[in-house]
Chains A and B, each alone.
Chain A
Amino acid sequence: MNRLLAALLGAIVTGCAANPPSPAEPQAAAPASPADRAPYASTYVAPPSPPTLIRNATILTGTGTRIDGGDVLIEGGKIKAVGPSLTAPEGAVVIDASGRWVTPGLIDVHSHMGVYGSPGVEASNDGNESTDPVTSNVWAEHSVWPQDPGLEVALQGGVTSIQILPGSANLIGGRGVTIKNVPATTYQAMKFPGAPQGLKMACGENPKRVYGDDGRFPSTRMGNVAGYRQAFADAKDYMEDWKEYDANRAKYDREKEKGDEDAVPPKPPKQDLKLETLAEVMRGHILVHNHCYRADEMATMLDIAKEFGFKISAFHHGVEAYKIADRLADEGVCGALWADWWGFKMEAYDAVQENIAIVDHPSGGCAIVHSDSEEGIQRLNQEAAKAMTRGKLAGFDIPPERAIRWITSNPAKSLGILEQTGTLEPGKMADVVVWNGTPFSVYALADQVFVDGVVRFDRSKPGKPWSDFLQ
């Protein structure tokens, strides 16, 4: 079962199991009009766009395939066809992409855009709820400032989808949100329809420094682990309480139906937003994105996931992921990594520039280039190019059609949106970048960026910035 379907079914099950329902948080569902949508759900609807045929390009599909001299046909905001010599439907916009390259829209799984925006003023310092080591109750989307000027420059770098995460001050920092990178006044109007939320967790130095320096728990790595475990243990108990309530409620409903006037309705447990998020993680509806640098700590986190029966979608930063690349591949966990960042802290001391290529190497390996930076997000393609270069020199066979997966389909997979985007396959969202040449170059520039078939950036037609802040 694909993740989206699982998420939707999950929402239905938890929504119907009891009355009052178990407190599953509203899942992002298909866009609805503001009047009848679920709270916090996406209101994003792609505006209509004309059919578009991109002709005679070097196409990297994101599935590992390269097509030379190929065409991409977009209709109704979706990829209609990819291949040689496609026919333009009537009224289609035809783009001659001779000498140019076409890729899926890039996806960054790790951004703090909008929660730590530009300008980085005190008043907008909204990325870390660093008042408690476990804040699984907070949602990054409730901090997102849609006017962050960083969003538009990321789009100019070809980035069409972004996961915005809380910071790493906490063991469990809160829920992340995946957005489509389009101009909007509200975050709901950017929210990726149907994308599961993420859960930000953090290993190592940050949480223990933030709280330990304050004389609070945790101050050690063993304290960190105790903190995650207690939180999930509490959430397990919470799920049991609701299970028991659901059974009692069902029993009560049956008795009422039989006409038992004396039946007493059970009292529901108190809703707990922190534990509910963790319960949703264990139900598989929220995907874990775990800031974790050291190989040994990643291994510990995999054990914690095993203990409580959840899955880690991706380790983020993972400077030492290369040391356990085969284990990550075996467990189906992605490594969301930098090409060459290192040294800024002790847990980033053992960096190698081959990290991404090595994580990519084993069968089932899932390497992702992420940014965690308003500068880096503008050049994910260059970071991938550096990692590709280092990998090739280390003896790995990494053609462009393979490396492009690090910034398209692999991040889509880790975010649970691969069914909708991340590759150029018929039926998917037409999130497409036309580059002035190979994207694996310092001179690469996105000429046009499509989001759901709509041209959101055209280098030949510079306009006024979107952000109200820049007016």
Chain B
Amino acid sequence: MKTVRIAAILLATTLGAGAADAQDFLIKGARVHTAGKAGTLENADVLVHDGRIAAVGGSLTAPAGATIVEANGRPVTPGLFGGLTQIGLEEVNQEESTYDAELKLTAPAWQHMWRPEFDVTPAFNARSILLPVARIEGVTWGVIAPLAADSLIVGQGSAVTLDGRFDADFAGSKSLFVNWGSAAHAASGGSRAAQYMLFDQAIREVREPATAGNGALLLPEGRAVLKGYLAGGRVVFFVERASDIREVVRYAKVHGMKPVIAGGTEAWVVAKELAAADVPVVLDPLNNLPSDFDRLGSRFDNAKLLNDAGVRIAFSFSDSFQARKNRQLAGNAVAHGLTWEAGLAAITSSPAEIFGIGKDHGRIEQGQAADLVLWSGDPLEVTTVADQVWIAGNAVTMQSRQTELRDKYLERVKAGTAR
């Protein structure tokens, strides 16, 4: 019966089209996890009109022409955050020709390390095979971020929808990404102390362009970009060690940046300070091992301790191919003490707030974009799957290259001829 229902919705599928083409529909009788102030609503309905959530509540009436989706008590959540990711920036990680997340200009050798104007957003490939793999599992958006092991300032990225449209980035979601601590050891001449020294120089070049002589770090384009971030822009620092987190937050604030901590393995140590400074942390709650000397204080309840202290947290699994694993991270954080609602928020409303799209995304509330997932059971549970996903009100075709390969070979397997 479920199949029939979904098939009816698929007829209306118009992936890649604008929200205005989306068909109106009413999800009836769902356990609605709003990820907002309303919390969880039992036996509730969600009405979608023109790609947006028109109403949420009990016993809503479907307008003429709207499709009815019977949830039969199944949970509905906002579309999930896929983390800080390179989805759309890579097809096969180790095949360099398919990888666009890292700048490797070599003349002069240091130049790629100081190009804040490097922005991965236009390289986003909406037709990447990674998108359907992630979105049929409920991941409707992510923040595409540049990556580079040997840069201090890595570049910029944006929040993007994963519905397959070409112009996928959300307005106002741009961030600058910066490596800090041992992550930028080589790029800072072998000492993290030099990270402050070099950043000081770059800031001075922005504030006093006349000082940018032959030894300048930044080009004029870079100065222009960094200037924006020094005027309240969102700067994501990849940093793990407690002392570095504390110091970089202080440093960012002094220089006008709005810091976000990414990684943050030892953030729990400075949780109170982060809460007081209203600095969010994007973390992987599965990081419980001392993977290096910046992470000696790793522990399984980092997420819980941060949340308890009032720090806004979001989850991110550092693998584009496994963006779908983000809800497993949330489930494990809950198993280790985080409240369930906070676990869901960490992969929905919380990252939306952190990356500047919270007004339109991340919650099931009237006026928000209809990025919705209907689940077979508890959305954080590993035995649950997404039964149907909608992005901007459009039903996602629940197929990927992986499901196609599966279907191709299942016939042989069932016939006993897979050899």
Contact = CB atoms under 8 A, between A and B. Distances in A.
Contact of A343 (B92, B334, B335, B416): B92
Contacts of B133: 342
B419 A324 contact: yes
Interface stretch (A37-45, A46-54, A158-166, A346-354): A346-354
Contacts of A119: 290-293, 295-296
B332 A379 contact: yes
Interface in A368-391: 374-375, 378-379, 382, 385-386, 388-390
Residues of B in contact with A, size category: 35 or more
Interface in B355-376: none
A361 interface: yes
A322 B418 CA distance: 7
Contacts of A126: none
Give the size range of A's interface with the partner: 35 or more
A418 B133 CA distance: 37
Interface stretch (A74-82, A236-244, A265-273, A438-446): A438-446
A330 B419 contact: yes
Contacts of B320: 343
Given A119-B292, A121-B292, A394-B406, A385 B382 contact: yes
Contact of B406 (A344, A346, A354, A388): A354
A390 B383 CA distance: 8
Contacts of B413: 322, 325-326, 358, 361-362
Interface in B310-330: 319-322, 324-325, 328
Interface string A373-414: 011001100100110111001110000000000000000000
A229 interface: no
Given A120-B291, A352-B405, A442 B418 contact: no
Contact of B418 (A326, A351, A394): A326
A445 B336 CA distance: 9
B380 interface: yes
Contacts of A205: 94
B385 interface: yes
A385 B324 CA distance: 15
Contacts of B384: 389
B286 interface: yes
B418 A441 contact: no
B290 A443 contact: no
B106 interface: no
Nearest to B343: A442
Contacts of A346: 92, 94-95
Interface of B: 91-95, 130, 133, 286-293, 295-296, 319-322, 324-325, 328, 331-332, 334-335, 380-385, 402-403, 405-406, 409-410, 413-414, 416-419
A390 B136 CA distance: 13
A343 B405 contact: no
A173 interface: no
A375 B289 CA distance: 8
Nearest to B294: A119
Contacts of A441: 381-383
B382 A382 contact: yes
Contacts of A142: none
A341 interface: yes
Nearest to A389: B383
Q: List 10 A-B pairs, minimum CB-CB distance, nearest first.
A: A442-B331, A343-B321, A327-B419, A345-B94, A118-B289, A352-B406, A344-B93, A325-B418, A385-B382, A442-B382
A222 interface: no
Nearest to B378: A442
A70 interface: no
- B287, B290, B322 — which one has the most chain A CB atoms within 10 A of its CB? B290
Given A322-B413, A445-B335, A120 B292 contact: yes
Between B95, B130, B384, B385, the greatest number of chain A beta carbons within 10 A of the residue's beta carbon is seen for B385
